[in-house]
Structure 1
Amino acid sequence: MDSDIQLTLTTGLLIRLENVQQVINGQSGSDVTNLLTALFTTNSYDKRVRPKTDQTSATTVDLDLYLVGINDINEIEGKLTTTAFLHLGWIDEFLVWSPPSYGGIGYFYIPQSDIWKPDITLENGFSKLKELGNSFINAAVTMNGQVFWKPFEVFETKCSLDTKYFPFDKQTCKLSFVVWSSGIEDVNVTLWNNGINLDYYEENSEWTVLSTAHIEASDASESRVVFSLNIERNSAYYIMNIIIPVILLSFLNVLTFALPADSGEKISQCITVFLSFSVFLTIVNAELPKTSGSIVGYYLIFQLAMGTIVITITVLQLRLHHRKDPVPPSVIKIIKCLPFNRIAAVNSTDKNKVENIQIKNTERDDVDCETETTWSDVVSSIDFVMFWTALGIVMIATIVVLTILSSH
């Protein structure tokens, strides 16, 4: 019997505590219904009316941008695609109530389509203008009329891209939000607390956010807020898969001049390297920017031109190498004037023995090599000079290009 009485007392106490808690937290469904009825039916709330008692004063809308991720950057179309959501807040003077009159309710959520919203849109969007958010997104309304709205979007923004310093390029893209229909005297959009917030940002494998900026760029007739993203391309992938292979192929191209003409592999070497370079460009073409003006693009054209020059010189060398007529004195003098030349002097009495000699500049005019110098010697001298010349040109061009790109 005592246990039954104790159970009854305990149950009654729990019911009373639950009722008190329900009143304090405003969790009664009837209280919420009464509140919504009073605001939207009794007070005849009309979302077409700007929520300002004094219609001559502007409604101030505060705005922040929460960047979630950078999806894609299209160089050809000049398009930046980002995932983000806006955090907007304003005072709706028609949605104000006294919490004690409705069970202590301090706030409620309501679909965005049921209340007044500012006609804010992405001014520099890539597609047609559309309403922010979606029908399933709710706005939070507090007892003093403060409205919080967080529309989530995938923004496609026009962005002028400069790929001159690819793959070390840095880009600045802007997202401009403007009040499209209402004038600044009716709706004034301003920055809130953080501008661009990166708390929810997920790193992109290709692009890194360096910094952000935001300004209020309102004019006499329109109210707008502009957010800027300063981003940098991650260059490691392009260095490993494009720049370094091109540099290695360029040195293989120069090694053509190190092969003797008698080996029979000279022309095969330069053509093979040239074809390898052409096939490589075809493979990596999808990774290169499709716009003109890239320094890397000019560098690739330079390497392609070097391959063409090497093939041309090699063909001429082989043509000279197989000539049987004597070398004209004028050609000998030209060869002797070349820096670092090496002339193979052939003994006229024993042409089976060949001795390589270096002739000093002061002795060149006194030596008669008309019967000692062959076309093979001329080709050998051209090889020696062209090897160091081509190597120097390739190294200087590579160092200059990498210095310009990395110092940007």
Structure 2
Amino acid sequence: MHISRISILILSCLGCVRAVFNTTLANDIHTAVMTNYNYLVRPSATVTVRAELSVLTINDVDIRAQKMSSSGWISFYWTDSRLTWTPASYGDIEYIYLAASKIWKPELVVDNTVGEIETLGSSDLLFRVKYTGEVKWDPPGVYETQCEIDITWYPFDKQKCSIELTSWGFISNHVTLEHHVTYVNIEDYESNGEWNLLSTELSSSTLTEEGETFSQLVFSMEIQRRSGYYILNVIFPITLVAVLTTVTFLLPADSGEKISYILTILLALAVLLTIIADAMPTTSLHTSVLGVYLSVTLSYAMIAIVITVLTLRLQVKPEGTKVPRWLQKLCTSCLVKIICYKKDDVVELNTKDNQETEDIKKETNIKKIMKEKLKRKPVTSAWNPDDDTVKEVDEENPTDFDDCPYNNKDVAEIIDRFFFYLYAVLNLLTTAAFMIVLGVGSAQAS
């Protein structure tokens, strides 16, 4: 019993001694494997290089420049049969490290980079070589790659960006690229404040140039925009400004601020549209739903300006000016019924004598107007200036609108009230439709 325990202890101590790194033996390994080694000659007829992408973080996604910046490294594995040794003969040393200029390595590039195209890796990087001849190479980098941005559902959009790795110089018959694992390594990934990494995908393909094919690997990442910031700082202000367009028709004309108010709303919408357009890529492949909504609300504001100008012209006409017949018909037969308009009763604080004086003045004005009509156009019945029940018959237009109960100011108020209700409904429906389309569309896009 005691002998077996002592034997185990002795063997453990011997194992510890053998595992101690010996510089001389390591030098012997370097000398043995590098003798007659030509780094320009590939290890075999077809070298299989396996690659694994490890992502540290997504630095930025520039939707206007349509590019993604990410940091990480790509691990490469291949076997070089010339770099082998027996660990037992060299103090059980299983790994050595060689410089990039000493051994063969594949020439690889990220072919969808938006910067200068260069081969991966630095000459200062070391290669880890195992006694079996397996070589591992881990060149780190910041990858700025092209990413086609779909802004249709901005700011609830999801993008799919990729890093495309291609063999440079070695055709696929000489160097074949394969994925080392079936996923992108995100164990050390740090979250981005604007974008959320949803999933990753791996694929492989080939590139054909002048009749020769080159092996290619694609590392794809699906990311989703974190929309909280944009809801508070983009969508909410746009919706509020759109609603304020409706308030234009509640402002009284006497305030003198009606035109300046709606012009301010129009300019605010134009500025918001400009800000959104500046953040979008200059492409016609995709159209933003948010941009369409802004354009519609901008059109509403423009139409509101035209209506406001017309109603103001109607209100500033001299008292006693007749309302156009078509406008009388429109108001009395349609608009009044739609908005349930009732003319407000005006409480007069004058005395009875003053009221009678006003009635006399009105009758006198009516008589003067009727006299002018008789001078211009013959009538079918004689007119007596002292007759209070005078009525003129228009043969061409038998319907008489001279007794329209609404003057110019009343008609302008009716129009304002009608468009207030109309704009309230339009803005509500447009905003609701925009939110529904944006929500459903972004969900289906995933």
Structure 2 length-normalised TM:
0.77
Distance in 2 separating the partners of 1:330 and 1:315: 18
Unaligned runs of 5+ in 1: 1-15, 352-365
Partner of 1:76: 64
- 1:106 Cα deviation from its structure 2 partner: 0.8
**Contact 1:124-1:175 within 8 A present in 2 as well:** yes
Bigger CA drift: 25-34 or 75-84? 75-84
SS in 2 for 1:243: helix
Q: 1:239 to 1:302 in 2, by over 3 A?
A: same
- 1:378 Cα deviation from its structure 2 partner: 0.5
Of 226, 230, 242, 2:222 maps to 230
Write out aligned runs for 1:229-378 (5 A).
229-280=221-272, 287=279, 291-292=283-284, 293-324=287-318, 325-336=321-332, 337-338=334-335, 339-340=338-339, 342=341, 344=343, 370-378=403-411
Of 42, 46, 60, 2:38 maps to 46
Q: 1:276 to 1:178 in 2, by over 3 A?
A: closer
SS in 2 for 1:196: coil
Distance in 2 separating the partners of 1:239 and 1:369: 55
SS in 1 for 2:296: helix
Q: Which amino acid aligns with 2:235?
A: I
SS in 2 for 1:193: coil
- 1:284 Cα deviation from its structure 2 partner: 6.3
Partner of 2:5: none
Partner of 1:392: 425
Q: 1:69 to 1:396 in 2, by over 3 A?
A: same
Query: In percent, how many aligned pairs have the same letter?
Result: 33
- 1:66 Cα deviation from its structure 2 partner: 0.7
**Contact 1:122-1:129 within 8 A present in 2 as well:** yes
**Contact 1:68-1:200 within 8 A present in 2 as well:** yes
Q: 1:216 to 1:284 in 2, by over 3 A?
A: closer
Partner of 1:9: none
Q: 1:283 to 1:405 in 2, by over 3 A?
A: closer
CA-atom RMSD, angstroms? 2.9
- 1:368 Cα deviation from its structure 2 partner: 6.7
- 1:272 Cα deviation from its structure 2 partner: 3.0
Aligned positions, number: 374
- 1:332 Cα deviation from its structure 2 partner: 1.5
Write out aligned runs for 1:190-209 (5 A).
190-209=178-197
SS in 2 for 1:195: coil
Structure 1 length-normalised TM:
0.83
Higher CA-based Rg: 2
Of 101, 108, 115, 1:120 maps to 108
Q: Which amino acid aligns with 2:149?
A: L
Partner of 1:35: 29
**Contact 1:346-1:373 within 8 A present in 2 as well:** no
SS in 2 for 1:370: coil
Distance in 1 separating the partners of 2:79 and 2:151: 45
Unaligned runs of 5+ in 2: 1-9, 347-354, 360-398
Q: Which amino acid aligns with 1:161?
A: I
- 1:281 Cα deviation from its structure 2 partner: 5.1
Distance in 1 separating the partners of 2:49 and 2:99: 19
Partner of 2:83: 95
- 1:222 Cα deviation from its structure 2 partner: 2.1
Write out aligned runs for 1:144-155 (5 A).
144-155=132-143
Distance in 2 separating the partners of 1:91 and 1:235: 47
**1:158 pairs with 2:154:** no
Distance in 2 separating the partners of 1:208 and 1:368: 68
- 1:111 Cα deviation from its structure 2 partner: 2.3
Distance in 2 separating the partners of 1:251 and 1:84: 47
SS in 2 for 1:394: helix
**Contact 2:43-2:82 within 8 A present in 1 as well:** yes
Distance in 1 separating the partners of 2:277 and 2:206: 43
- 1:291 Cα deviation from its structure 2 partner: 4.5
- 1:341 Cα deviation from its structure 2 partner: 5.0
- 1:255 Cα deviation from its structure 2 partner: 0.7
Distance in 1 separating the partners of 2:29 and 2:121: 25
Distance in 2 separating the partners of 1:284 and 1:127: 26
| Residue-by-residue CA offset, 1:46-105 (whole Å, 9 max, x unaligned) | 1111113xx3xx111111111111122233332222112111111110100011211111
**Contact 2:55-2:189 within 8 A present in 1 as well:** yes
Distance in 1 separating the partners of 2:180 and 2:108: 15
**Contact 2:163-2:220 within 8 A present in 1 as well:** yes
Distance in 1 separating the partners of 2:281 and 2:215: 36
Distance in 2 separating the partners of 1:118 and 1:371: 92
- 1:280 Cα deviation from its structure 2 partner: 4.9
| Residue-by-residue CA offset, 1:293-329 (whole Å, 9 max, x unaligned) | 2221122222222222222211211110111302234
Distance in 1 separating the partners of 2:82 and 2:101: 16
Q: 1:173 to 1:246 in 2, by over 3 A?
A: same
- 1:22 Cα deviation from its structure 2 partner: 7.3
**Contact 2:258-2:308 within 8 A present in 1 as well:** yes
Q: Which amino acid aligns with 1:102?
A: Y
Distance in 2 separating the partners of 1:272 and 1:76: 29
Bigger CA drift: 340-349 or 150-159? 340-349
| Residue-by-residue CA offset, 1:368-403 (whole Å, 9 max, x unaligned) | 772521111101111111011111111111111111
Distance in 2 separating the partners of 1:47 and 1:217: 28
**Contact 1:207-1:234 within 8 A present in 2 as well:** yes
SS in 1 for 2:181: strand
Distance in 2 separating the partners of 1:76 and 1:345: 56
- 1:263 Cα deviation from its structure 2 partner: 3.4
